[in-house]
Amino acid sequence: MVPPPTDPVPAPGVSPRRQAFRRVARALGGVMIATLAARGLLGARPARAAHMLRPPGALPDADFDARCIRCGLCVQGCPFDILKLADWDDPAPIGTPFFVARQDPCRMCADLPCVRACPSGALDPLLVDVREADMGVAVLVGHESCLNYKGLSCGVCVRVCPVRGEAIALREIVRNGAVIRVPTVNTDQCTGCGSCEKHCVLSHAAIRVLPRALGIGRSGANAAGRGGVR
């Protein structure tokens, strides 16, 4: 039978209390090194890819990444199992929640269970109306492939929109001498839920949800473009 381990005999002149203090200090040092290493690894992860959307109420990326504690409670709170936590293979800070619109869009729950589950404020607790959420903005990126632009009657993206008639609608334009009705997004009303992208009938969606900073232009001169050259 192997005898149970015994505490090391204190060195000559070293009191048991000091010996215990040294053991605790070494243990705390190891924990601190491991924590710093983990934070370094998390910080080295890439910024999220454009197609990886945040839940409703997410703060701007830098603030969200700093505030999110990677607890996964928002993922557990989602009743439709849409949210996922970023893994090592995902192009996003590890442990942060996201969803991909083409796979499964946000259902825009009126009671915002994901926001209510967040303990850190990374999902803004002041968001009480899901129609005020800003997960991104829908952008018609494939004019050449959109069936409506070809003169056909599709409009699936409009029909599935939970804010139909406000966030997206069919507008008449004249193209090649013919009047056609094309999907037009009202960026002020679009929440970026992704329903339009999910249900686009094409093999590669003609309409996609992008982070608002990428999907919307902004007025003003471009210092790097022709307008800024003197």
Domains of the chain as residue ranges with CATH: 50-133 (no CATH), 136-216 (3.30.70)
DSSP 119: S
Query: Whats the size of the chain, residue-wise?
Result: 230
To 5 degrees, how large is the angle CA 222–CA 227–CA 230?
A: 115
Residue 222 pLDDT: 76
Say which amino acid occupies 29.
Answer: G
d(CA 104, CA 124): 22
Determine contact, residues 104/56, Cβ cutoff 8 Å. no
pLDDT band at 12 (very low <50, low <70, confident <90, very high): low
3-state secondary structure of 59: coil
Determine the 3-state secondary structure of 145 from DSSP: coil
Q: What is the pLDDT of residues 84-123, one digit of tens each?
A: 999 988 888 999 999 999 999 999 999 999 999 999 999 9
Q: Is 73 helix (H, G, I), strand (E, B) or coil?
A: helix
Mean pLDDT of 178-200: 95
Query: Is the whole model's pTM more than 0.85, yes or no?
Result: no
Question: Three-state DSSP class for 215?
Answer: helix
Is residue 112 a contact partner of residue 193, using CB atoms and an 8 Å limit?
no
Is the confidence at residue 131, as pLDDT, over 90? yes
- Model confidence at 34: pLDDT above 50: no
Comparing 47 with 35, which gets the higher pLDDT? Answer: 47
Beta strand 97-100 pairing with 178-185: unpaired
